[in-house]
Structure 1
Amino acid sequence: MIEKMKFLSITGPKEDIDRVVDTYLSKYEIHLENALSELKTVQDLRPFVENNPFKDISQRALELSQLLSPDGEQSGHKSMTVSQASDLIEAIGNEAEELKAKEESLISKRNTLKESLERILPFTALNYDLSAILHFKYIKFRFGRISHEYYHKFEDYVYDTIDTVLYKCREDDEYVWLVYFVPDTISNRIDAIYASMHFELITVPDEYKGTPFEATKTLEDSMKAVQIELNDVRKQLATFLELKRDDLLSAKDRLESFSTNFNVRKLAACTRQSRNTFYILCGWMSHHDADSFQRDISDDEKTFCIVEENHENILSRPPTKLLNPGLFKPFELFIKMYGLPAYNEIDPTILIGLTYSFLFGFMFGDVGQGLCLLVGGFLLHRFKKSSLAAIISCCGIFSTIFGFLFGSVFGFEEIIHAVWLRPMQHMTSLPFIGRLNTVFIVSVSIGMGIILLTMILNIINSYRSHDPERTFFDTNGLAGFVFYAGLVLTIVLYMTQNPIPASVLLVIMFALPLAIMFFKEPLTNLLERKARIMPKEKGMFVVQGFFELFEVLLSYFSNTLSFVRVGAFAISHAAMMEVVLMLSGYEAGNINWLVVILGNIFVCGMEGLIVGIQVLRLEYYELFSRFYRGTGRAFKPYGKKL
């Protein structure tokens, strides 16, 4: 169902807008519209332009609250004014910033130490005092790395021909880390040779003491000390914020509320009357909220509200707010995926809830697996609040019901008696067709009933939207309904070997609706009293009408046969479980329960997914395409009801 809406225009002194929003509108769900767009006919309207003074302090409060532990309570309970909230956030923020500054300084120091450690770590095998190397006077040194390919080439062809001493420190799969020494007088030439071998120089600053191994130990000890100090600062910050948790969260909520309230000005308009300037707010409320709001402001001398009952006088379309019983609420997921219904359109949530669950159960009838879906979906919805899990649970109910009708429990068909029939075994004889599986006949019959129902819904929707063509002359309108209903009636009478209606009645049921659908465009023009009834190109009109009519007849046939898949999956489910039992050795009397369990899990998972997709396809293409537009816009409330 779609909740009924009222359009409200709220006005009062300009300086009073914050009080009104905070006192009244924050208590109710109101979908605000742009007042300048809605009130184009009102003279001297101008936008309500002011900078939000709460934006920065509200953002600061949010950032501070994000430093709190996520395990604690996430909302405050203290009542405070906006100025008190601002002062509180300033005080908490200043003290927290001092600790954050210490934290950032320690992090920077730790990163510097880590960088120094990573730089010297590859050279720990060099057992020589680094400070002595770094202060050589006549010998130059170079720390760096070279790839294996060029290192071997250097050793084989170059090393013995130049004046240099090379010390290999470490190697991995890709590089060799080394130190080479060279006399100062020829260092430029030797450096050029090493560079030609793709030697990558690593700068070692004058800050290390002892051997590289001793230097790494010193750096590691320094990093541990800095980390201990850093943990202590973080603990101080966490303890301080936890002590202020209730104050901080209360202030954050208050500032967020005022910041959001202030943003209402973007949708408000201002008008000047005599010496005073008034604000105007426009928006949609549910009937219940609108009545409560009017009662609330009845004694408020500064606030005025006008309710517009006639939606034809309003420029914007009413938003859609779905209101369905709890059992069908999860199926709103499928509605939102397709598109919300327009305000004057039928909400198909209950229809899709019933048909989806029913068709799923028909295609997946098994008591054991149905109960697993029921319980598993219920528990998942209970703990994870998943709408899809709730849908699975509803489908499990119908799977269990059809499991009793088909006499199947985890694929075993000897445990209980079939209340109705066995899908793979029951056959029915039909005139002209012969023997046919009963579930195919039933599934097609269900499909014809659903198609007729969707045609009725299309007539209602089209009538509400004042569309005479779709109401009376469309393939899913009144003409299409008469034709298809007549066809269904004739087939049922023929298959049950009952007398078929007289020829005159058949002409009325078939020929007349087809003629109306053929001439739907001229008939619509005539009904709407347009100047031109028939199109200019009459020859093209006839050809186009003929092929469209042919396509209509073909679509009736294909759409009806599309429901055969319902019976096909009912049979395939029984067949798959029969294969599982055969593989487990059930027929030989030596049953392997592990195979039975794994087979049930596989069938329940794989076929359940496929059946779910196929039923959704039937809903969207065979049901929704006939009557549902899904052109509504969501109801987006400014404030949430307390």
Structure 2
Amino acid sequence: EIFRSKTMNLCELNVKRDIAASMLQSFVHLKSIQFTDLNENVPAYQRNYSKDVQKVAEIESKLTYIRSQIEQSDIQIPNQLQHLETNSMVTLEQELDQIINEFKELQSDYMQNKSKHDDLFEQTQVLTHADKVDIRQDSMGQGIEIATEITSELLSEAQTESLQSILFTIPRKLTFIVIRALFKISYGNIYHESYQLEETFNDDIRDLVCCFVPGKETVARCVRIINSFGGKCFEFATDRQTALKAASEALSAFKLTLALSKQRQDNVLMKAAKYIDFWTELLLEQKQIYHNLNFLKLNQETLTGKCWVPAEMMERVRTEIDACDFRNGNTVKTALVEIPIPKHMQPPTQFKTNSYTDVYQNIVQAYGAPSYKEINPAYFYVYQFPFTFSVMFGDVGHGLINAMIALMMIIFAKKLSQVHNDMIEMLFEGRYLILLMSIFSIIVGFIYNDFFALGFDIFGSSYKWEIEGAKAVAPFVKVSKFGMDAHWHWAEQNMMFLNSYKMKTAVVIGVSQMLFGLILKLMNLIKQKDYPKLFCVWIPEFSFMAGFFGYMVFCIIYKWMQNWTETPPALISMLIQVFLSPGTVDENSQLMQDAATQGSVHKFLFFLSVIMILWLMIAEPVYEIRHMKKHPEESHDKASSDIIVQQVIHTIEYVLGCISHTASYLRLWALSLAHSQLAEVFFDQMLGVSLGQSSPLIGGLSLLITYPMFFGASIAILCAMEALSAFLHGLRLAWIEFNSKFFAAEGYLFEPMQIEKQFGIVVSASLARDQ
């Protein structure tokens, strides 16, 4: 179902204007119709339903406001959708206006009471802590006296007699600035004490300050300075004890008032929360309806539109049209006629996916949407992507850990699907991909014989020497039954052997995948009946790739299969000689038993490569130029020189791309080597230190420290970071090296009318009003 996209029909719809909205409402629930815009040249604000779009946008802003207030109040929205009988936009707007007006009225009362409450609260704090700013009073405030020792140094006798106090609060970050300003404005004749209040006032931390300055004029100037900085001055006609008692009683009353006011607000929002999702769904439905109605052309009282419908849904769509005509009492039957698809028009692409294949399709669509009826790479990603990942990540132990994590996500899928966290959602969507990558990693780990970088002698070794008397007898060398012989892990030539094996394996895998991609390109060209491109482009591309790089793969496998008693030939030098000295084979580069045969093969490959490069460079420009002369109406003002230059560039890119893409597959070897070496270092430097202790007691105690370190490093670095690195490299190989051989990605997705929360209105309310 994901190999090629679904078959699409282009249809023309003719519907009466008075039932058009009802008809499109039926289409929204079908999720099978995508309208094309027949009014592309008409500005959005001049279209037939621009006012309706404006109205929907205005209602949406009201609904958004109510939802935001519900979320701010932490009111739970029911999971089950609550339906109402009415679905009229007029009724919806009236209900929303009533809710908003009632809520804003209650909110206004609440804010007024809250302001009074905050003032009283601040007043009680000032009264409580006023004695801490060096205000000396008899029994909490019958008069103010300042220490004579202090004032006598600052003020004259006359000034001391007219000394005035200013009690105020100020934001803590401004205290120093305000005191400095007061010092300047009073010419230094000021004494002050401050106290840091622990409570906050409207999320503002404040200080309590008491200043003493001479003269009423100075007091007035100081008060203006304090107010300009956001300070608040306090004056108490009665003694502080009485004022504190009165303020505390008023504060308690306001707390009760605020609680009741907040409860009334919540009651209004709770009623709205029951139906907020239903209203949202209704609004999104109306969005889709009027958005798509603007795509239709109006001819008198009939709306005409063109739409894409999947071939398999044609009968169901026609049935729904008949049912809608019957419900609305329409005497003139609505017509849905299938019409031919113009050559310049490409149908949209749609694939049927499930929870398993959806992640692979998303990987493809992140690169680009497949063209109509083009082979979908996601079909091959299902096995290819986990395989290339496992070649880089192959380890039985690490694969088992990741597999268990993926299985846990699958088992608890229902619970995890309700978690709203970007990271968890991303991992959850890829749970089947992670599981398959882990299973492949376990299989490749058995091939590498790697279990947390350890090798296990499961099937016996061909390199285990038997001791007979005083002599060591060499064993009979035989091929390991499965995977890598464990003794290679402990051999001195371990790195040299594994590097050579993994490097050549990476090249074989890379060339095989790219050749397979070219075969898929052939299938696409045959499906599209593009035989000129098949002859002019595909044949030289495939012949060049299969000729030289296919021969390289053959040489690698042939070299593996031979029992070399002497130094084997270096393949890199041999392949370079194919182009530098065609037909010449020296002793160091002789792979086959017959050097003459090998030389003939090299000559053939050299001439084949040159001919295919010239073919690729010349054939298509010649065909396009001749076709352009025969059909000038299809030329689109193309110049012959542009065609030639474009093809020359394509040829150079393809030839160099074959080399660079093959080299790019060496990342399979590089990451596999890095993963195994890192795992080995972790084991040797952590667990290996403890296990190597001569004393069992010391070794056991040290394991209590080294094992958590080893486990944490394995999970965080190898199972998480290394897995992410291998995933990204696998993504690069899939997108660039594999897709570039056949995948055009020039299509666009089928986006039918349906209710989507992320759907955007083309014309905003403000734009519609401005016009």
Give the TM-score band, short-chain normalised. 0.7 to 0.9
CA contact (8 A) 2:349 2:373 kept: no
Shift of 1:607: 1.4
Query: Is 562-571 or 580-589 further displaced after alignment?
Result: 580-589
**Is 1:595–2:709 an aligned residue pair?**
yes
CA contact (8 A) 1:452 1:485 kept: yes
Shift of 1:171: 5.9
Question: Equivalent residues in 2 for 1:475-554 (5 A)?
Answer: 477-495=538-556, 496=558, 497=591, 500=598, 506=605, 509-525=608-624, 528=627, 530=629, 552-554=654-656
Q: What whole-Å deviation, never above 9, does each CA across 1:203-248 have from its counterpart, x for those lacking one?
A: 5266x56567876776566455434333333334444654676566
In 2: Cα distance, 1:238 partner to 1:376 partner: 42
SS at match of 2:35: strand
In 2: Cα distance, 1:214 partner to 1:193 partner: 25
Match of 2:587 in 1: none
- The one-letter code matched in structure 2 to 1:295 is T
Match of 1:104 in 2: 108
CA contact (8 A) 2:117 2:255 kept: no
**Is 1:177–2:177 an aligned residue pair?**
no
- The one-letter code matched in structure 1 to 2:341 is H
Shift of 1:358: 0.5
**Is 1:633–2:741 an aligned residue pair?**
no
The structure-2 alpha-carbon separation of the partners of 1:222 and 1:307, relative to structure 1 and needing over 3 Å to count, comes to farther
CA contact (8 A) 1:29 1:638 kept: yes
In 1: Cα distance, 2:47 partner to 2:291 partner: 13
Shift of 1:261: 2.5
| Aligned residue among 22, 26, 34 for 1:23 | 26
Shift of 1:361: 0.8
In 2: Cα distance, 1:308 partner to 1:552 partner: 42
CA contact (8 A) 1:76 1:253 kept: no
- The one-letter code matched in structure 1 to 2:546 is A
- The one-letter code matched in structure 2 to 1:11 is N
| Aligned residue among 465, 490, 511 for 1:448 | 511
Question: Equivalent residues in 2 for 1:7-22 (5 A)?
Answer: 7-22=10-25
Match of 2:78 in 1: 73
CA contact (8 A) 1:362 1:566 kept: yes
In 2: Cα distance, 1:528 partner to 1:321 partner: 33
Aligned residues: 609
Q: What whole-Å deviation, never above 9, does each CA across 1:465-511 have from its counterpart, x for those lacking one?
A: 6777764444xx32011111011343344441556565785467433
Shift of 1:577: 1.5
Match of 2:335 in 1: 305
Identity over aligned pairs, percent: 16
Shift of 1:563: 1.2
SS at match of 1:437: helix
Shift of 1:70: 5.7
CA contact (8 A) 1:80 1:254 kept: no
| Aligned residue among 296, 305, 315 for 1:268 | 296
Question: Equivalent residues in 2 for 1:321-332 (5 A)?
Answer: 321-332=350-361
Shift of 1:594: 2.4
In 2: Cα distance, 1:518 partner to 1:258 partner: 55
SS at match of 1:584: helix
**Is 1:413–2:528 an aligned residue pair?**
no
**Is 1:289–2:313 an aligned residue pair?**
yes
Query: Is 64-73 or 378-387 further displaced after alignment?
Result: 64-73
Match of 1:396 in 2: 438
**Is 1:235–2:235 an aligned residue pair?**
no
- The one-letter code matched in structure 1 to 2:609 is F
The structure-2 alpha-carbon separation of the partners of 1:576 and 1:121, relative to structure 1 and needing over 3 Å to count, comes to same
CA contact (8 A) 1:411 1:577 kept: yes
In 1: Cα distance, 2:103 partner to 2:652 partner: 79
- The one-letter code matched in structure 2 to 1:449 is S
- The one-letter code matched in structure 2 to 1:107 is M
The structure-2 alpha-carbon separation of the partners of 1:213 and 1:555, relative to structure 1 and needing over 3 Å to count, comes to farther
Shift of 1:288: 2.5
- The one-letter code matched in structure 2 to 1:348 is P
Match of 2:218 in 1: 187
The structure-2 alpha-carbon separation of the partners of 1:563 and 1:264, relative to structure 1 and needing over 3 Å to count, comes to closer
Q: What whole-Å deviation, never above 9, does each CA across 1:551-610 have from its counterpart, x for those lacking one?
A: 654432222122122122222222222112211343626464323312311222221122
In 2: Cα distance, 1:637 partner to 1:413 partner: 55
Q: Which residues of structure 2 form unaligned runs of 5+?
A: 145-160, 198-204, 326-330, 418-424, 460-479, 491-495, 559-590, 633-638, 694-698, 757-771
SS at match of 1:486: helix
The structure-2 alpha-carbon separation of the partners of 1:426 and 1:291, relative to structure 1 and needing over 3 Å to count, comes to farther
In 1: Cα distance, 2:531 partner to 2:143 partner: 99
- The one-letter code matched in structure 2 to 1:443 is A
Question: Equivalent residues in 2 for 1:101-250 (5 A)?
Answer: 101-114=105-118, 117=121, 124=130, 125=132, 127=135, 141-143=165-167, 164=189, 166-170=191-195, 177-184=209-216, 187=218, 191=221, 202-204=231-233, 210=238, 222-223=250-251, 225-239=253-267, 242=270, 250=278
Question: Equivalent residues in 2 for 1:31-110 (5 A)?
Answer: 31-37=34-40, 47-49=47-49, 51-52=51-52, 56=58, 60=62, 63-64=65-66, 67=70, 71-78=76-83, 80-83=85-88, 87=91, 90=94, 94=98, 97-98=101-102, 100-110=104-114
The structure-2 alpha-carbon separation of the partners of 1:174 and 1:619, relative to structure 1 and needing over 3 Å to count, comes to same
SS at match of 2:612: helix
Match of 2:200 in 1: none
Match of 1:562 in 2: 664
Match of 2:675 in 1: 573
Query: Is 516-525 or 12-21 further displaced after alignment?
Result: 516-525
The structure-2 alpha-carbon separation of the partners of 1:423 and 1:634, relative to structure 1 and needing over 3 Å to count, comes to farther
The structure-2 alpha-carbon separation of the partners of 1:616 and 1:435, relative to structure 1 and needing over 3 Å to count, comes to closer
In 1: Cα distance, 2:729 partner to 2:498 partner: 27
Match of 2:685 in 1: 583
**Cα RMSD over matched residues?**
4.8
Q: What whole-Å deviation, never above 9, does each CA across 1:152-188 have from its counterpart, x for those lacking one?
A: 9999x999x87x563413269998933223223x638
Question: Equivalent residues in 2 for 1:436-475 (5 A)?
Answer: 437-461=500-524, 471-474=534-537
In 2: Cα distance, 1:194 partner to 1:60 partner: 42
Query: Is 229-238 or 498-507 further displaced after alignment?
Result: 498-507
In 1: Cα distance, 2:646 partner to 2:83 partner: 75
Q: What whole-Å deviation, never above 9, does each CA across 1:274-307 have from its counterpart, x for those lacking one?
A: xxx1112322222223331113334645443334
SS at match of 1:632: coil
Match of 1:42 in 2: none
CA contact (8 A) 1:3 1:321 kept: yes
Shift of 1:345: 2.6
- The one-letter code matched in structure 2 to 1:228 is L
In 2: Cα distance, 1:415 partner to 1:226 partner: 80
CA contact (8 A) 2:10 2:338 kept: yes
Shift of 1:372: 1.9
CA contact (8 A) 2:399 2:438 kept: yes
The structure-2 alpha-carbon separation of the partners of 1:79 and 1:317, relative to structure 1 and needing over 3 Å to count, comes to farther
The structure-2 alpha-carbon separation of the partners of 1:174 and 1:142, relative to structure 1 and needing over 3 Å to count, comes to closer
CA contact (8 A) 2:349 2:747 kept: yes
Match of 1:5 in 2: 8
In 2: Cα distance, 1:86 partner to 1:543 partner: 59
The structure-2 alpha-carbon separation of the partners of 1:280 and 1:210, relative to structure 1 and needing over 3 Å to count, comes to farther
- The one-letter code matched in structure 1 to 2:338 is E
Query: Is 63-72 or 124-133 further displaced after alignment?
Result: 124-133
In 1: Cα distance, 2:647 partner to 2:279 partner: 68
Query: Is 329-338 or 506-515 further displaced after alignment?
Result: 506-515
Q: Which residues of structure 1 form unaligned runs of 5+?
A: 40-45, 428-432
In 2: Cα distance, 1:307 partner to 1:113 partner: 70
In 1: Cα distance, 2:606 partner to 2:719 partner: 49
CA contact (8 A) 1:99 1:237 kept: yes
Shift of 1:16: 1.2
The structure-2 alpha-carbon separation of the partners of 1:280 and 1:181, relative to structure 1 and needing over 3 Å to count, comes to same
Shift of 1:330: 0.7
The structure-2 alpha-carbon separation of the partners of 1:388 and 1:604, relative to structure 1 and needing over 3 Å to count, comes to same
